[in-house]
């Protein structure tokens, strides 16, 4: 079993390269674009059936892949329908010291994109380590109704609470116990999530 480290990366303005013009490449682009990550997308042909115009902050180039396209890139996704091309992209990326995902070869990939459930700054990721991205998406979709938008509001209140003198006086076990009480008590949960003044809670 290959071990992968689940980690959140601060990418900011670092550019991601996606090579491919089909549905898989488009789906990868949607994930990055949703997070505001700048993209460079290379393909000989972009499928006209896909809404590429909805992808923001993207440099779209109609061309055959070349190693020069790796310049100024932080992460790489090889998402063509040609295994040899994808393998070449992985090889070139590694020569440049870049991490690369090959959509048709999980064992050659340095990372995999998780199916994300986002509520503001709260992110829950579902991953199968590349074995079945479809299953990860199904599990995400099943979990989604159980985590509503109030969780994002609750997180903001907890972030404020952590800076309060009251919170700093609590021991670590006391903090965990308080958060557990909030999650277990629907009324306390809603009160904290909707409160504008932590003194009211």
Question: What tens digit of pLDDT does each residue of 159-172 get?
Answer: 888 888 888 888 99
CATH code matching the domain that covers 15-113, chosen among 3.65.10.10, 3.40.50.720, 3.40.50.1820, 3.40.50.2300: 3.40.50.720
Share of the chain above pLDDT 70, in %: 95
What's the CA gap between 59 and 38, in Å, rounded?
Answer: 8
Look at residue 193 in the predicted model and tell me its pLDDT.
67
* Tens-place pLDDT, residues 88-102: 999 999 999 999 999
Q: Which of 45-59, 101-115, 116-130, 148-162 has the lowest mean pLDDT?
A: 148-162
pLDDT at 196 over 60: no
Cβ atoms of 79 and 22 within 8 Å: the answer is yes
Its pTM stands at 0.80
Per-residue model confidence (pLDDT) at position 3? 78
pLDDT of residue 199: 54
pLDDT score of 158: 83
Domain ranges of the chain: 15-113, 150-200
- Residue 25, pLDDT above cutoff 60: yes
Q: What is the mean pLDDT of the chain?
A: 89
More confident residue, 131 or 76: 76
Long-range contacts of residues 99-107, Cβ cutoff 8 Å, at least 24 apart: 99/75, 100/75, 100/76, 101/75, 101/76, 101/77, 102/78, 103/20, 103/24, 103/28, 103/77, 103/78, 103/79, 106/130, 106/131, 107/2
């Amino acid at each position: 079993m290959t071990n992968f480290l689940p980690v959140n990366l601060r990418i900011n303005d670092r550019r991601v390269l996606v090579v491919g013009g089909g549905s898989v490449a488009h789906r990868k682009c949607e994930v990055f674009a949703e997070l505001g990550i700048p993209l460079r997308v290379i393909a000989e042909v972009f499928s006209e059936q896909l809404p590429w115009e909805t992808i923001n902050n993207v440099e779209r180039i109609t061309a055959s892949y070349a190693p020069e396209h790796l310049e100024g890139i932080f992460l790489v996704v090889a998402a063509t329908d040609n295994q040899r091309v994808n393998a070449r992209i992985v090889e070139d990326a590694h020569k440049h010291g870049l991490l690369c995902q090959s959509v048709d070869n999980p064992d050659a990939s340095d990372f995999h994109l998780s199916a994300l459930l986002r509520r503001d700054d709260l992110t829950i990721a579902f991953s199968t380590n590349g074995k079945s991205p479809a299953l990860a998406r199904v599990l995400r979709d099943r979990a989604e109704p159980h985590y509503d938008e109030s969780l994002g509001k609750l997180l903001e209140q907890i972030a404020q609470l952590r800076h309060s003198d009251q919170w700093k006086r609590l021991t670590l076990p006391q903090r965990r116990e308080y958060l557990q009480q909030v999650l277990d008590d629907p009324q306390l949960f809603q009160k904290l999530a909707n409160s504008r003044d932590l003194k009211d809670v």
